[in-house]
Amino acid sequence: MTSKPEYIDLLNDIRLQEHRAGVYLEAWANKTDNKDLKECLSFVAAREYSHGDIFDRRVKELGFDTQEIEDPDFEEKVRVVTSDISDAEKIAWLKEARLRMPTPGVRQRYEAATVDESVDPLTRSLLRWFTDVEDDSVVRMGGVYAEIEKAR
């Protein structure tokens, strides 16, 4: 590719978001005493790290360099999930933080890219797979979160 397609920035944003999610979910898994939550967070964190690597590779396969972009909320997420507040309070905090995210969010952008014919077919396929895996992670975490919230 000679000129940079707009969706390269999206792939980079996904890469950053996924790697950072791996970091804070792993940190939380290492902090919690809840066996089910620890297992779920560890599983999803491994997925997130893997997704970061996959999107890093895809950007490079397309002939572009990845870019580091600071996330002003990242350190706060790590601080909260490694704090001594309860897991239920951490879940509530993360849900509130998600509501404060700008729109359209990365998810809306990558879902739109799965049907955007200006995005190359292999990347659209990757984004469809990624959407399915993310949905599975949301279901897994949602089930564990619900049990924790119910026990509160």
Range of the domain at 41: 7-151
**Which tens digits make up the pLDDT trace of 82-113?**
999 999 999 999 999 988 888 788 999 999 99
CA 7 to chain centre: 17
Q: Report if residue 124 sits inside a domain.
A: yes
* Number of domains within the chain: 1
CA 17 to chain centre: 5
Q: Report if residue 2 sits inside a domain.
A: no
Q: Report if residue 20 sits inside a domain.
A: yes
For residues 65-70, average pLDDT: 96
Which residues, including other chains, have CB under 8 Å from residue 35's CB and lie 6 or more apart? none
Domain containing residue 94: CATH number: 1.20.1260.10
Q: Report if residue 49 sits inside a domain.
A: yes
Q: Report if residue 118 sits inside a domain.
A: yes
Q: Report if residue 1 sits inside a domain.
A: no
Quick check: 2 pLDDT over 70? no
The Cα 95–Cα 16 span in angstroms is 20
Quick check: 1 pLDDT over 60? no
**Which tens digits make up the pLDDT trace of 114-138?**
999 999 999 999 999 999 999 999 9
Q: Which of 141, 8, 140 is nearest to 63 (CA)?
A: 8
Q: Report if residue 57 sits inside a domain.
A: yes
